[in-house]
Structure 1
């Protein structure tokens, strides 16, 4: 900082290396979960990515959100077919000038929501670039869900039809869903489908957490130490953390 005033570089450093005390109040050591998955929300600026994150993690809609610089972070524990899973979600910047920075969050992510704005043709046209990035930089087994957001505006302002988005999804082997962060429609379902698909890959052996080496972190109370803190920004950060316990959650 200079003269007590935070510069843009200070903000960027804080986003990339947040001090641990910022997350200490989040950590609840009695949290019980079997897996920890790293998710991304990616796509062009203005597609509603941060609104989707807030709707999913905080159950509320905040309009007129400023564009994300670096990434926003949220987490949530859900139960999927009897298995407790903690999802750590990185909502990355969609502006082109921050794109190289956003890529630093991709490493080893095991799930991704590829978001476009139903009312913005340009956001749909840019999907191939975002998809190429995540498949190149995330975990090889990454599960990508195509999400058409702002479904509530489709009838009055829609520029991308369900048919053409579904065709893009089929051509690229993606599951497709349309959501509204405003009303909450299908927001939970998009994360649920992605999580369930990852669990199915683990069950079938297509994704092996033990092979990845992330199955040995646990504490006596049943959580993963630091489990509420964002996974570190390193080339070896885990995309899946397995925890075996006697809890029936």
Structure 2
């Protein structure tokens, strides 16, 4: 997520747009989500479904806390997974980030959808202005888990069975909108750009998450640019906010 401060009517327009979309999602007035995650039932094998269901941190209501590190400072972050579709290898949830700007306290929550890397959602992104070189650059940051796939991840005959047996789950998270708050800061508010997305790696055993944000305008060679480090909170159970 890339946000900046603004005190003019642009922020009001974005806030109103987010509020309308969020209300429609809550009330079930929206059909399938935008084509961030394909919703076809083909491509995610039964073996994949079974394997994913046994990853303790990959479940509805799972909560993660940690921080996002940018080029200037670090911000506390909380992520909650609200829904997982094991058949389609997709999910959605909320990401809350605090104090984006050191000079003031703030809290921004975004709604995101995710793709679980699988035969249905390959490592090669092919959208969001990410090409092969960008994918290789970012997936390679997960050196411990991705190394075994580094030379084959774009092969037509890629071994997805080996991916199922890996020690990590790879994902892409794409933020769609800001979840409206009950009150609005009348002096200044944040405008958020959702042109980019996160490359995500979840360790199956610990549930810890590492992530790197990419957007075309960012300096992709800066490994510290919006990197996520999150820990799974297995003993804290939260009510699952479900959009039906």
Give TM-score, length-normalised by structure 2.
0.28
Give TM-score, length-normalised by structure 1.
0.28
Structure number having the greater strand percentage:
2
